[in-house]
Amino acid sequence: MKLIIGGSTGFVATELLSQALKNPAITSIIALGRRGATVPADANSNAAKTKLRSITCENFEEYPDSVKSELANADACIWTIAVTPMKLSTVPWEETCKISRDYATTAIKTIHTLRPPQEKPLRFIYMSGHFAPRSRAEIPPALQNHGLVDYGLLRGETETLILDYAEQSQGTVQSCIVKPGLIDAPGAEKREIPGLPHIDLPDIAAALLDQVIRGFEKDTLSNDDLVRIGQRALAGYSKG
Ligand SMILES: NC(=O)c1ccc[n+]([C@@H]2O[C@H](COP(=O)([O-])OP(=O)(O)OC[C@H]3O[C@@H](n4cnc5c(N)ncnc54)[C@H](OP(=O)(O)O)[C@@H]3O)[C@@H](O)[C@H]2O)c1
């Protein structure tokens, strides 16, 4: 399987990279980012050499041909690029919309267009968040309390656009939205936000890889789904 990881330098993507390098079902990894990806310290150097290509890109709204050729014929993509709530105050709103919504919709379209017709559909995961409503009627009080209504709606709108793209692809694209709560790094102190569930970093990375390899259980995965799928996948690996 050829897998694209969009936003390969991030917190989740770094763990994805580490697990994907160890997973024999993934034979090629395109680590796409505005900066080069770092090879994880625990990576087998042979796997890193043969499976991994770090591709940097300056324009995520219009990919140059050199990047397009690297993205061609992918089987799956896990898209992690977004402005996260913690960085929201440092990025102008217009940029936030571009980075968190338009980059994702450009990615699914471009990667789809760069595939020759084939039996298996492209599998595309968009990483969103627990509190991202798809309509005003679904806005949870927690978003209001934190002044994040517009941000939540932006992420929810992107979910809808990504699902609609697959819906209109006549079966050539499957998309999946993942909605984790707070993602905890091993050994780090747990942050608490009322109403937000938790998931461990290795669990979510294992769940995302499981789903692109085995197929999507459904088009939207909650935090509970991700914990269950990730722990099942990790238990499977430890049995060998
Ligand atoms: N972490 C959590 O607890 C959590 C919880 C729920 C949902 N999520 C969602 O999961 C996804 C990944 O989260 P994360 O914690 O891994 O985020 P992160 O560490 O901030 O990584 C985000 C990635 O996006 C890239 N990026 C940001 N701005 C960009 C720009 N202008 N152009 C190109 N690339 C840009 C970053 O590149 P640089 O490294 O160059 O900055 C990085 O690779 C996000 O959608 C987030 O909202 C995260």
User: In this structure, what CATH number is given to the domain that contains residue 148?
Assistant: 3.40.50.720
Q: Please provide the average confidence, as pLDDT, over all residues in the chain.
A: 95
Residue 199: pLDDT band (50, 70, 90) is very high
- Distance CA(126)–CA(197), nearest Å, equals 19
Q: How confident is the model at residue 113 (pLDDT cuts 50, 70, 90)?
A: very high
Q: What's the 158 CA to ligand 1 centre distance in angstroms?
A: 15
Regarding pTM above 0.75, the answer is: yes
Ligand 1 atom at minimum distance from 6 CA: 43
pLDDT at 238 over 80: no
Residue with CA nearest ligand 1 atom 5: 182
How far away, in angstroms, is 10 Cα from ligand 1 center? 5
Please tell me the distance between residue 9's alpha carbon and the centre of ligand 1 in angstroms: 8
pLDDT tens digit sequence for 1-19: 999 999 999 999 999 999 9
> Residues lining ligand 1, CB < 6 A?
7, 9-13, 33-35, 60, 80-82, 84, 99, 127, 129, 180, 182-183
CA distances from 135 to 69, 92, 152, 155, 214 (A): 37, 23, 10, 11, 30
- Residue 220: exposed, middle, or buried by beta-carbon count in 10 A (0-12, 13-18, 19+)? middle
The angle at the Cα of 38, spanning 33 to 43, to the nearest 5 degrees, equals 130
178 Cα to the center of ligand 1, angstroms: 14
Q: Token pair 């692109």 is at which residue?
A: 212
Question: Which atom of ligand 1 is nearest the CA belonging to 184?
Answer: 3
Q: What angle do CA 209, 199, 166 make, to 5 degrees?
A: 45
Question: Confidence band (pLDDT; 50, 70, 90) for 41?
Answer: confident
CA of 7, closest atom in ligand 1: 43
Q: How far is CA 176 from CA 60, 78, 153, 159, in A?
A: 21, 9, 18, 9
The rounded Å distance from CA 117 to ligand 1 centre is 31
Number of domains in the chain: 1
Exposure string of 146-181, with b = 16+ CB inside 10 Å and e = fewer, is eebbebbbbbbbbbebbbebbeebeeebbbbbbbbb
User: Per-residue pLDDT averaged across 137-144, rounded?
Assistant: 94
Atom of ligand 1 nearest to the CA of 57: 33
Query: Residues 33, 57: contact at Cβ < 8 Å?
Result: yes
How far apart, in whole angstroms, are the C-alpha atoms of residue 49 and residue 226? 30
Task: Return the structure tokens found at 87.
Answer: 């960085």
CA of 14 to the centre of ligand 1 (A): 11
Range with the lowest mean pLDDT among 94-98, 101-105, 193-197? 193-197
Domain housing 113:
2-239
Question: Cα separation of 153 and 22, whole Å?
Answer: 36
